[in-house]
Structure 1
Amino acid sequence: MRTDVQRFAVANLLRRPEAAEVGGFVVGFDPATTSPYINYATPVPGAEPADRDVSALIEAFRERGLKPRLEFAPDAAPAVEHALLRAGFTTEAVHEYMVCTPATLVAPAGHTVVETPVTDEDYTAIDAALSEAFDGEFPPSPESAARLRRTQEGGGAVRFVRASDGGCAGAAICSAPADGTAELAGVGTRPAHRGRGIAAAVTAALAATAFDRGTRSVWLEYSGEGSRRVYERIGFRPTGTRLYMSLEA
């Protein structure tokens, strides 16, 4: 399953508007944004990069004025971390990820209504709600709302719970599948609506949608013990870790 997640990471980056293979790495760039969370690289499973490969990777970022940055499951490419450390990369974070399959998925308790966005107003409301849920780390913008629509219309899925004012109380996003798995991300609830089962509802709805389309597994990362318990209740199980590394200027 660890290799499945890393193979997904490779296939997903290859879907970026500008993607390239550099040595044992795949680099994905989106010219519409300079965000390091969208423009990054990942190694192919089993990669054993030489120093010259890492130098070429760094140059691919530098020539675009971007910070060299990688996200990957280290167990799928054990030699990569040491090669990056030799080149001066440092660790940003290590996150545990969880995996759900059709056999483990459990419908959450309650009757929360989960919707699929349709209008531009829906996507704008979801974008704003997720920005608020993550304390403004990802500012809302027409470009990020458009990316949500592209996800929904490009084989992935976006689901949300509507607030009483007609906006968005909480939402989440699932990528289009690759190599039989899909990533569920951006699970967020506006502070005023927390504690009502919204995160569990949208997460379970997205996983069920992916499985209905033939996906074998769905994976996500969690941010704390509270969210871990939410995901465990609906069938996600801890499986491995993902490593985030970058090189400062």
Structure 2
Amino acid sequence: MDIIVQRSVVAQLSQRPQSVEVGPFVIGWDPSTDSRYINYATPRPDAVITNTDVARLVAAFREIDRLPRLEYVTTCAPGLERQLLDAGFGVEARHDYLVCSPDSLTMPAVPDGFEIAEPATDEDRAGAVAAQNEAFGGEPTATPADVARIRRTQDNGGVVMYARGPDGSYVGGGQASPPGEGVTEVAGIAVRDAFRRRGIAGALTAGITARMFANGVQGAWLEASGEDSWRVYERVGYAATGKRLYIALG
């Protein structure tokens, strides 16, 4: 599964508004944002990587004025971490990734009074992004570029969903990437503080995953960064499968 997930990341980055191939690496980036979580590189699985390749990768990031940063499945480039550390990179995080199949998915009930749905208007898209931003500790706003990014995800075969409360306010959101290698990444599952621990995150995760399976995707993967999210994902059918590394220069 490690190689399939890593290939799917290569495919994701290749679908960014801009992508750059640098030897064994692919950089995906978006001119409308400098977010490190959108602009990053990944290696092609099992590629032979030299120190010269790493230096060229850093230079390519400098050329597009973005932070040199990578995300990848560790087993697919076992020597790369040492090369990056020697080049001055620092580890940001090590995350487990979990995988779900159509057979393992469990659909929880949507909490009473709440709605889980796909945005059909830019108002819905902005509401989902604003709720996600607030849940992740940012400002509860969405820019036109954010809305365009969500729309592009939908247009390219990904899925976005929002959670809305009884009063009509947007309380959470999440998305799945356009499929690559027959799988999709589910990401950005977020619920505003006041609405947590009610089952909304699980309903969002399962709803997004189910929609991608209905669209023909064979598997879904996501990352768990803490015990709370781990429990949410396991309850809807995700199981720990492998390790991913986040690493950046500077």
Pick the TM interval, shorter chain.
over 0.9
Write the distance in 2 (CA, Å) between the matches of 1:57 and 1:137. 32
1:230 Cα offset (Å)? 1.0
Q: What letter matches 2:121 in structure 1?
A: T
CA distance in 1, matches of 2:227, 2:212: 25
The one of 216, 222, 225 aligned to 1:223: 225
Report the Cα offset of residue 138 of structure 1: 8.9
Amino acid in the other structure paired with 2:142 = P
1:178-219 deviation per Cα after TM superposition (whole angstroms, max 9, x unaligned): 001100000001111112111111110111111111111101
User: Cα distance, 1:223 vs. partner?
Assistant: 2.3
Q: What's the counterpart of residue 58 of structure 2? A: 58
Determine the structure 2 residue equivalent to 1:194: 196
Shift of 1:137: 7.6
Q: Distance in 1 between matches of 2:152 and 2:110?
A: 30
Matches within 5 A, 1:112-151: 113-136=115-138, 140-151=142-153
| Count of residues in correspondence between the two structures | 248
In structure 1, the residue corresponding to 2:35 is in which secondary structure? Answer: coil
Q: Which residue of 172, 182, 186 corresponds with 1:170?
A: 172
Normalised TM-score (structure 1): 0.95
Cα distance in 2 between the residues matched to 1:59 and 1:237: 38
Structure 1 residues not aligned, in runs of 5+? none
- Deviation sequence 1:60-102 (CA, Å, 0-9, x none): 0111222110000111111211221221111111111111001
Cα distance change of structure 1 residues 158 and 165 upon mapping to structure 2, 3 Å threshold? same
Deviation at residue 29 of structure 1 after TM alignment = 1.7
Q: How does 1:83-102 map to 2 (within 5 A)?
A: 83-102=83-102
TM-score under structure 2 normalisation? 0.95
User: RMSD of aligned C-alpha atoms?
Assistant: 1.5
How far residue 116 of structure 1 moved from its aligned partner, in angstroms, is 1.2
Partner of 1:206: 208
1:137-182, Cα deviation, whole Å (9 max, x unpaired): 8963221122112212221011122122322111110111100110
Displacement after TM superposition at 1:130 (Å): 0.4
Letter in 2 for 1:73: V
Distance 1:24 1:234 in 2: 36
137-146 vs 193-202, which moves further: 137-146
Contact 1:47 1:80 in 2 (8 A): no
Q: Distance in 1 between matches of 2:202 and 2:219?
A: 17
What fraction of aligned residue pairs are identical, expressed as a percent?
49
Q: Which amino acid aligns with 1:193?
A: F
**Relative to structure 1, is the Cα distance of residues 54 and 205 closer, same or farther in structure 2, using a 3 angstrom cutoff?**
same
Q: Which amino acid aligns with 1:44?
A: R
Equivalent position SS for 2:137: coil
Secondary structure at the aligned position of 2:116 is classed as coil
Q: Is the 8 A contact 1:133 1:190 kept in 2?
A: yes
Task: Work out the CA distance in 2 between the residues paired with 1:78 and 1:137.
Answer: 38
> What is residue 10 of structure 1 aligned with on the other side?
10
- Contact 1:93 / 1:244 at 8 angstroms: preserved in 2? yes
Whole-angstrom distance in 2 between the partners of 1:139 and 1:36: 19
CA displacement 1:90-125 (0-9 Å, x = unmatched): 111111111100111011145553211111111111
Match of 1:45 in 2: 45
After superposition, the Cα gap between the structure-2 partners of 1:168 and 1:137, relative to the gap in structure 1 and judged at 3 Å, is closer
Distance 1:2 1:161 in 2: 31
Is the CA contact (8 Å cut-off) linking 1:48 and 1:79 kept in structure 2?
A: no
2-side partners of 1:45 and 1:167: how far apart?
A: 43
Q: Write the distance in 2 (CA, Å) between the matches of 1:176 and 1:138.
A: 26
Unaligned runs of at least 5 residues, structure 2: none
